[in-house]
Amino acid sequence: MSNFAALKKKTKANFSTLQKKIEAEAAPNSYADDRFWTFKASPEGNAQVTLRFLPLWDGADESSDTPIVKVMSHGVKGKTGQWYIEDCPSALNGGKIVPGECPACDANNVYADSKGGWANMSDQDRNVLRSGGEEGQGRRTQYVANIFVVNDPAQPENNGTVRLWKFGPQIKSLIDGAIFPEFDDQKPLDPFDLFNGANFKLRVKKVAGQTNYDSSSFDKPSQLLADEGELEKAWLKEYNLFEFINPENTSRYKPLADLQKRWNIMKDIKAPVSEIIPEKIVPVADAGTSVEADDSFFDDLLEE
């Protein structure tokens, strides 16, 4: 059989394969990961769960690893309905935006420059970027930690399990407040200590239509589990958090060409990648203030 005859015979199969490839290319990233725990709120938006933050995992490098890591991402919906959902490489730079590493951050910089620079942008212009749709490419800041689920009334099957939890700046501020208490009569607490730490009472409610965690607090210090054998088993089940900040983890931190390709699909841009990467990107620092200060308004995006 000639190659042409074989081509004719496989026409339907080839088309089916092509469809699958295009669907995979156009589909947004899926972040479904059963290692992660999420609370289940009531119809009123309330939830109460007892958790315990866990220490460094077995085999961690105590000189560089931490029991909580900071991650950043973009979730942008284009006018065509396509999404760009990707981790932002700025997380690897402590939040500093490096031109030419992230299409969303590059677009934000170009937009900010068109408005006179980050330091001179109006609240209205900042909200445009924050929106996550149309022109907005808002950068979302979250944190990942290992937790032990002590009591999850709405999902009792989670009780006694070690999971990953991704949360936002509001929960992070409560952790920081325990480590560095505001008042002199408050004792510093290591929330990640199995023996002398404390359970965390997560209390979720709706305030002005937004998810709020202000009523959450730490209990009195206590050992997580009375049986040290069970305590060790829980510790050994922890996940290595380095994967979330490992620059060599290409499934999470993709090359610019791959990010740009996904960005083009979301924006419905037909031009080659080489033609649409901005030739001149104005770093945030050029606006006359620090990257962290200028970009901090992205940090209070919805946490869940």
pLDDT higher than threshold 60 for residue 26: no
Task: Of 45-59, 135-149, 250-264, 285-299, give the lowest mean pLDDT range.
Answer: 285-299
Fold designation for 47-296: Replication Fork Single-Stranded DNA Binding Protein (3.90.198)
At residue 244, the pLDDT reads: 94
* Digit-coded pLDDT (tens) for 111-156: 888 888 888 888 888 877 766 544 556 788 999 999 999 999 999 9
Which is more confidently placed, 294 or 158?
158
pLDDT higher than threshold 70 for residue 258: yes
Task: Name the band, by pLDDT with cuts 50, 70 and 90, for residue 108.
Answer: confident
- Which of 208, 143, 156, 142 has the alpha carbon at shortest distance from 40? 156
At residue 290, the pLDDT reads: 27
- Which of 163, 169, 115 has the alpha carbon at shortest distance from 140? 169
- Which of 162, 141, 139 has the alpha carbon at shortest distance from 36? 162
At residue 121, the pLDDT reads: 84
For the chain, the average pLDDT equals 81
- Name the percent of the chain lying above pLDDT 70: 76
- Which of 30, 250, 62, 39 has the alpha carbon at shortest distance from 165? 39
Q: Which of helix, strand or coil describes residue 186?
A: coil
- Both structure tokens of 80: 């065509």
Which is more confidently placed, 215 or 282?
215
One-letter identity of residue 176? D
* Digit-coded pLDDT (tens) for 82-103: 889 999 999 998 888 888 999 9
Which is more confidently placed, 54 or 105?
54
* Digit-coded pLDDT (tens) for 215-249: 999 999 999 999 999 999 999 999 999 999 999 99
At residue 17, the pLDDT reads: 55
Rg of the chain on CA atoms, in Å: 23
- DSSP label at residue 204: E
Q: Are 88 and 73 in contact (CB under 8 A)?
A: yes
- Name the percent of the chain lying above pLDDT 90: 54
Task: Name the band, by pLDDT with cuts 50, 70 and 90, for residue 262.
Answer: very high
At residue 120, the pLDDT reads: 87
Query: Residues 37, 179, 91, 288: what is their CA dihedral angle, to the nearest 10 degrees?
Result: 140
Which is more confidently placed, 133 or 168?
168
Q: How far is CA 68 from CA 115, 182, 291, in A?
A: 36, 21, 22
Task: Name the band, by pLDDT with cuts 50, 70 and 90, for residue 209.
Answer: confident
- Which of 22, 31, 24 has the alpha carbon at shortest distance from 251? 31
Residues 6+ apart with CB under 8 A from 70: 91, 95, 141, 142, 143, 245
pTM: 0.76
pLDDT higher than threshold 80 for residue 25: no
Q: Are 197 and 53 in contact (CB under 8 A)?
A: yes
Specify the residue for token string 């990467």. 277
At residue 6, the pLDDT reads: 60
At residue 1, the pLDDT reads: 61
